[in-house]
Amino acid sequence: MSRRPTPLPPPPPPVSPLLNCHGVSEILGCHSRHVQRMNAEGQMPAGIKIGKMLRWDSAVIAAWIADGCPVPKKKGAGQ
């Protein structure tokens, strides 16, 4: 008696390590314009500029959310 091999479950969809504004807004549950405002006011982790595009590291965003979304401390002169 031959046994059929059990099929493996499909792999999870790939997770992009970099998120655009819309990706961050989906995670936060807000509008993308709010993400743009928070970024402009320095109320969230800084994004990464790639040419004209702005992206955020998904691990940094996840850690920021886990910490309760604190406003990042600004570095003053001489620091």
Q: Exposed (0-12), middle (13-18) or buried (19+): which is 32, by Cβ within 10 Å?
A: middle
Question: What's the chain's average pLDDT?
Answer: 88
User: What residue spans define the domains of the chain?
Assistant: 18-66
User: What count of residues does the chain have?
Assistant: 79
- CA–CA dist 74, 13 (Å, integer): 36
When pLDDT is cut at 50, 70 and 90, the band that residue 15 belongs to is low
Q: Which residues of 58-69 are buried (b: 16+ CB within 10 A; e: fewer)?
A: bebbeebeeeee
pTM of the model: 0.72
Q: Are 72 and 44 in contact (CB under 8 A)?
A: yes
User: Which is more confidently placed, 77 or 62?
Assistant: 62
Q: How distant, in Å, are the alpha carbons of 1, 6, 28, 66, 71 from that of 16?
A: 44, 29, 16, 19, 24
Tell me what percent of the residues of the chain surpass a pLDDT of 70. 85
Residue 54, amino acid: L
